[in-house]
Amino acid sequence: MNRSALFLVVFASFALCFFYPVSAQNDTAVQQPRLTIGGYGEAVYQYNFFSDNPNRYSHASDYKDAKGHGRVDLPHAVIMLGYDFGHGWSFGTEIEFEHGGTEAAVEMEAEEFGEFEKEIERGGEVALEQFWLQKRFNGALNIRMGHIVVPVGMTNSNHLPTQFFTVYRPEGENTILPCTWHETGISLWGRTTNWRYEAQLLPALNSRMFNRSGWIHNGSASAYEFRVANHLAGAAQVDYFGVRNLRLSVSGYIGNSFNNDIRTDIYGDSSRYNGVKGTVMVGAFDFAYQTPAVVVRGNFDYGYLSDSYMITRQNLSQNHSASSPYPHEKVGRNALSTGLEVGVNLLPHRTDGKKCFLFAHGEYYDSFIPAANVLDDESTSRTVLSAGVNYYPLAQIAVKAEAGIRMLKEQYNNEPWVAVGITWSGMFKK
């Protein structure tokens, strides 16, 4: 059975499940339609005490005493909408504006004798991060179809700004994995007293978008009006809540990434690439222990890419057009990210939602662990240490301040910074 037939069989099976009647008790529980509106957002100022020159790693000694630079940013501004149709059917969507969105216009330039010019006035991204229809049979069985979040790693499952202490999302997972990772696919999920599970069928990643500094981070991106799905992939997550105040989670992903692009005939018939699959495998473990007084979170992610040497050869090939969207970079066989953060609440007995956490955060990650016959780039191996405060005047709002340092191998310059931000996350209407 080919991949298209497999996808159709799975799709049809899920579709039949949608029309299987739910119990009368479930119908009664959801008779009244309900609209939900919410969102989250972040505004940040950061000052970096190091150079922003792109040559600061290749010629590190030239930038040892360079001046720093400051930035203001709107990392994420998100609007969430949901609707409960009743009888087990519901809808959800999440529209995200990253770094302020985009501002583009056509203007008539008086200085250019009235000629029209296209102007990019502000960089950023606008993304439809979620857009799905769901059928609920009971708490332990739900089927969701559409554009969904891929729950691999701690940050993808807990990406609201009130779910981590750092001003920006934790660096490691945000570097080596798509984050927030969202794909169009099918999800089967459910929750019991102590367990939650989710299994997904998705389009696979595209190895031509992989690179040295981000491993598979850009692999879910598509420059086209559609997402190529020559190969399908699977993702899964299991959470355990059986210990009071503790959540334990394991998650993973597997899929072939080679020749999952708009053109498959350029290299697919070449004998040198016969048998190349580019299988991506990611395994992740994370936990969160939370009480009114103490919060501890940690993660460990490890990834493997088969045929990384051959993929590097393809990505560096001169056959790519200069105008192509591909990064033309080598890619590592492995990548890893691990981190731990601890927060102590100075106001543990408040009942009005006010909290003030002093926190410490540490990470180690490497986005480029190459195959044996590929030259290493040690600038991708990084340790991050930071500390700061999160003040919550309300449960939905956090004012953050953080000072930290990114430490690289000794031949490079360390990168200290300070940052402040205000964040919020909540529902306007239920």
* pLDDT at 327 (0 to 100): 84
pLDDT digits (tens, 9 = 90+) for 21-70: 444 344 444 445 589 999 999 999 999 999 999 899 989 999 998 999 99
Q: Is the pLDDT of residue 20 over 50?
A: no
- How far lies 170's CA from each of 51, 75, 84, 389, in Å? 21, 13, 33, 15
Q: Which residues, other chains included, contact 132 with Cβ-Cβ below 8 Å and sequence gap of 6+?
A: 91, 92, 93, 144, 145, 146, 147, 148, 187
* pLDDT at 264 (0 to 100): 67
* pLDDT at 29 (0 to 100): 44
pLDDT digits (tens, 9 = 90+) for 174-206: 999 999 999 999 999 999 999 999 999 999 999
Beta-bridge partners for 147: 131, 184
pLDDT digits (tens, 9 = 90+) for 216-228: 999 998 888 889 9
pLDDT digits (tens, 9 = 90+) for 414-426: 999 999 999 999 9
- How far lies 386's CA from each of 97, 226, 353, 360, in Å? 27, 40, 25, 6
Whether the Cβ atoms of residue 210 and residue 218 lie closer than 8 Å to each other: yes
Predicted TM-score (pTM) of this structure: 0.88
Q: Is the pLDDT of residue 215 over 70?
A: yes
For residues 165 and 262, the model is more confident at 165
DSSP letters, 318-372, are: TTS-TTSS-------SEEEEEEEEEEEES-TT-SSS-EEEEEEEEEEEEEEE--T
Distance CA 71, CA 57 (A): 21
pLDDT digits (tens, 9 = 90+) for 354-366: 999 999 999 999 9
Distance of CA 393 to the CA centre of its chain: 28
* pLDDT at 4 (0 to 100): 52
pLDDT digits (tens, 9 = 90+) for 102-126: 766 665 554 445 565 666 666 677 8
Report all structural domains of the chain as residue ranges with CATH numbers, in order of start.
Answer: 38-101+122-429 (2.40.160.10)
Per-residue pLDDT, averaged over 319-339, amounts to 84
Whether the Cβ atoms of residue 204 and residue 256 lie closer than 8 Å to each other: yes
